[in-house]
Chain A
Amino acid sequence: MTATKDLFTTLEQETLICGRCGYCRSVCPVYEVIGWESSTPRGKISLAREIFAHGKRNKLGEDFVKRLDQCTLCGACANVCSTCIDTRSLWLELRKRVADEGLAPEAYVNLKNNLITNKNISTFSNSDRLEWAEDLDEEPEGLELEEEADVCYFVGCVSSFYPQAAQVPLAICEILMQAGINFTTMGGEEWCCGYPLVSAGFVKDAEPFIKHNVAKIKELNIHTLIASCATCYHFWKHACAEELKGYNLEILHTTEYLARLIKTGKIQFDELDEVVTYHDPCDLGRNGGIFAAPREVITSIPGVELVEMQHNRSNSLCCGGGGNLQSVDPALAGHISALRVDEIKETGATIVVSACQQCEQMLSAGIREAGLKVRVMDISQLLQEVLL
């Protein structure tokens, strides 16, 4: 059977194909919070059809652009679409059209300008990318730009520059060192993967980022890349594929790599008597197809009981942090995260583990807000705690 992704034709054609059945509405977290038909995938596609397939350009107004930006790009709508529309690609194309018309919101334009200047989503200099490594007990050899290392760890902007998320690369480094892996990072030569630009509609502006990162990987003669950010992973795997054509690069999410280390006996763990639930990041799970590896990793810890949330795997609820939503509507992102926090609470787990620093940041804030006594951890942090 043909995969949904391969079926995507053009924006115009896909909007015409949409049957307006509304299956997508039932799973959209944005609609769940906003409640108006204008916020449903069905509603937005109907108006996009008017504008682009029926040429009613005058309907492309501020209200509509706002609704297009109120989307986490979680892909839940694509997962259930009755006419197999890859709606995630459709949302990206719509944002591109909006940006092409000069109608992108100010927050997106600022994000673009900052990225072009700094090469990362923070306001820090890109040469500070490895500052987090100062907190390592002992800095591994070849941490920066080591040619022909067995593995290159793509840290990602958030983990590189934001202290809370920096715990993730610290944990990953410790695990890799313990396992005796010869690994490196791109240090100050790591640029943003480019996804924030694509998801804001500035597709062309993302190209230099893709080209730069791929060129560096080739220059270092790296053949295995791991990413702990679910979105960086997804972007490397899909958006960089064209640029990587003809070059042999295995792209793995850290959960996949960690599962491999466990299977080959390179790392072992102490017992942990806790009930853990796992939150599937959208770009790793539903959009990336990786469900088993993180679960294998968690259940490999003796004593851990893994309980699933009501919505899990491909039906998992979004944390609210995707699609640049926080930059345009942080309150909406917070409400979406609260929906997920309710499900976490239902499980009775004492720890919620995820595999994306953005999800972890959203869930931490949500859990704090709800006053729950649940720890939020990246899967690597959980392993770090029990590493023998």
Chain B
Amino acid sequence: MKTEVQEQIKKEFDERATDSAFECSFYTRDLAPVPDFLVDPLFKTRPDMVVRPQNTAEVAQILKIADENRIPVTPRAGGSTVYFNSIPTRGGILMDLNLIKGIKALNKDEMTVTVRAATTWSELEEYLNRQGLAAKSYPSSAPVATIGGWFSMMGYGVGSLKYGNLLSQLRSIKVVFPAGEIKIITSETSPSLDWFACAEGTLGIITELELEVRSFTPMCHYLLQVHETKSIASIITTLKDAAVKPYNLHFSDKYYNQAMRKLGFTAGQIEDANIIAVDYEGEESELKEAAEIVAAVVAGNKSVKMLNKNIALKEWEERFKALKLKRGGPSQLGAEICLPIEKLGLYLKEIDKVSSIYRLGLTSYGHVVDRGHLTVMTMFYADETKKVSYVIGLSLVKKIQDAGYKYGGYPYGIGLWNTPYLKRIFTPANLAQIRTRKKTVDQKNIINPGKVYKWPFLFHPLTFSLGCNVMAATRRICGKGEKR
């Protein structure tokens, strides 16, 4: 990036722009613990500068300069993603959007709220609750995830089963396009809203979103202990298809629960079993009916036991804290897969196999996100201070992806690290379509380049697969690994 341009931005943005090497170094990683020696030779993750615009006009001002000078711009909000989605691959400008936050307007008649893009879901929820309202859904990283960030990802999480993904709840967004043009986008405009859902910040920068909200309602929580792993999918299916739709429905397998217990995190009497948590919200009559549905599931299935209400409540209260399992690591590797619900049993069986072949001690949990799918996170412990075994561990993530793929699953989120799986995520027609969209909107490829559309040279699916398999074989032959 040219020094004059850097100086110009610094002058215009004063203390909200920096090119200090120290400051810029904090934007080079996300949650993914990928060692420097694997990243640095391939990508320039350190931005040349970081700028913190505070409104739409300033976003446009930066994009205009970037476009004129062909400088890559990486948008970043909560920075809570894991595939380098908000990490630069070619240096340039890191646009830290966190000053663009707060509630802009609430329309109680229309039941919509307009928020600035970097408002977190917890901030929005806190605000709405004070008004007797609530968000229809939110990610299970609500304390950090921003409204704009989640929309740019897949937008599935807590509440999606009942209310749909975020795209279906959005009325409009304000977008700044690469050359600095500002537009309001709805489902009727061209481009339309759906272009931006899952675009991972590659088409433009979203500064405002208008979304639907719901009334704040009472909730009830149930926790079911399920001894037979093969029953999980059928119980989940019964619950999701029942007359009252759960607000949240998730499971954790017995290995996950064992690991939690080992760490002292299990409240009360959870035995050595799988867990299904089901949470409802709505009118009292709806909750009453839900109670009957859950009771019938328990009565009709010998493998199922209902746990104490307090433990169920605790499980709900801890819904943002899945990461605490990491205490057993210190590092954790894994993959999140979007899977057809009916294939869950087969997937978990396959995971059992992978776990014992590679001695990985795999643990899984997942959320039902719509009537047909759940997102399953399967993980294993690692230690990033032990370089060789850690790199081999990284390659084994593909084995989890493969188990998912075998049963119709695909990675949840793309960023940089999941680009080798693009052909699993998209049909050829879909892939061609999103590539055309990118070309239409961002001819110079300056917005968040290196992500989503193409794998980098060394990540070609064939080379990638070969590399991973060689390392996996090494582990299979010599690895000590974990026992479950």
Q: State whether A26 touches B385 (Cβ < 8 A).
A: no
B284 at the interface (CB under 8 A from A): no
Q: Is A26 a contact of B122 with CB atoms below 8 Å?
A: yes
Residues of chain A lying within 8 A (CB to CB) of residue B99? 35
Q: How far is the CB of B148 from chain A (nearest CB, A)?
A: 15
Q: How far is the CA of A53 from the CA of B330 in the complex (A)?
A: 11
Given A25-B144, A36-B23, A43-B26, are A1 and B264 also a contact pair (CB < 8 Å)?
Answer: yes
A19 with B323, Cβ < 8 A, contacts A13-B330, A26-B120, A35-B98 known: yes
The answer to the question of B57 belonging to the interface, with a C-beta cut-off of 8 Å to chain A, is no
Contact partners of B79 in chain A: CB under 8 A: 22, 37
Instruction: Please tell me if the beta carbons of A36 and B143 are within 8 angstroms of each other in the complex.
Output: no
**A19 to chain B: which residues have CB within 8 Å?**
31, 323, 326, 332
Residue in A7, A19, A35, A53 whose Cβ sees the most chain B Cβ within 10 Å: A19
User: Does A35 contact B52, Cβ atoms closer than 8 Å?
Assistant: yes
Per CB-CB distance, the 8 closest pairs between chain A and chain B, nearest first, are: A16-B330, A2-B264, A37-B26, A22-B144, A82-B323, A23-B143, A19-B323, A63-B22
Say whether A46 faces chain B, with CB atoms less than 8 Å apart. yes
A371 to B315, CA, bound (A): 46
Chain A 116-138 interface mask (CB, 8 Å, partner B; 1/0): 00000000000000000000000
Q: Which of B18, B26, B96, B143 contacts A47 (CB 8 A)?
A: B26
In the complex, 10 of the A-B residue pairs with CB atoms within 8 angstroms, ordered by the A residue number, are A1-B267, A27-B143, A35-B52, A35-B96, A36-B26, A37-B79, A38-B22, A43-B26, A82-B320, A83-B326
Instruction: Determine if A26 and B26 form an interchain contact, defined as CB atoms under 8 angstroms apart.
Output: no
Q: Is A84 an interface residue (CB 8 A)?
A: yes
Kindly state the separation between the CA atoms of A199 and B20 in the bound complex, as whole angstroms: 28
A84 near B327: Cβ-Cβ < 8 Å: yes
- A7 CA to B328 CA in the complex, in Å? 11
Q: Which of B17-32 contact A (CB under 8 A)?
A: 18, 20, 22-23, 25-27, 29-31
Q: Are A36 and B50 in contact (CB under 8 A)?
A: yes
Contacting B at CB under 8 A, from A1-34, are 1-2, 7, 13, 16-17, 19-23, 25-27
In whole angstroms, how far apart are the Cα atoms of A109 and B320 in the complex? 41
Q: How far is the CA of A108 from the CA of B122 in the complex (A)?
A: 37
Q: State whether the Cβ of A54 lies closer than 8 Å to any Cβ in chain B.
A: yes
Total inter-chain residue pairs, C-beta < 8 Å: 91
How far in angstroms is the closest Cβ of chain B from A186?
Answer: 40
Question: Mostly helix, strand, loop or mixed at chain A's interface?
Answer: helix
In the complex, what distance in Å separates the CA atom of A22 from the CA atom of B267? 25
CB distance B323 to A1 under 8 Å?
A: no
Contact partner, B263, options A2, A35, A47, A53, Cβ 8 Å? A2
With an 8 A cutoff between CB atoms, is A80 at the interface?
A: yes
B352 within 8 A of A: no
Residue on A with the closest CB to B145? A22
Are the CB atoms of B385 and A7 closer together than 8 Å?
Answer: no
* B385 adjacent to A21 (CB under 8 Å): no
A2:B265 contact, CB within 8 angstroms:
yes
Whole-angstrom distance between the alpha carbons of A19 and B32 in the complex?
A: 9
**B349 at interface by CB-CB < 8 Å:** no
User: Is B78 interfacial (CB-CB < 8 Å)?
Assistant: yes
Q: Which residues of A contact B141 (CB under 8 A)?
A: 21, 23
Query: With A and B bound together, what is the CA distance between A37 and B144 in angstroms?
Result: 13
Q: C-beta contact mask, A61-99 vs B, less than 8 Å → 1, else 0?
A: 101100000000000000010111000000000000000
CA distance A64 to B265 in the complex (A): 33
- List the B side residues contacting A53 at CB < 8 Å: 385
Residues A17 and B31 in contact, CB atoms below 8 Å apart: no
Given contacts A2-B265, A35-B98, A36-B18, contact A21 B27 (CB under 8 A): no
Is B80 within 8 A of A82, CB to CB? no
B329 interface hit (Cβ, 8 Å): yes
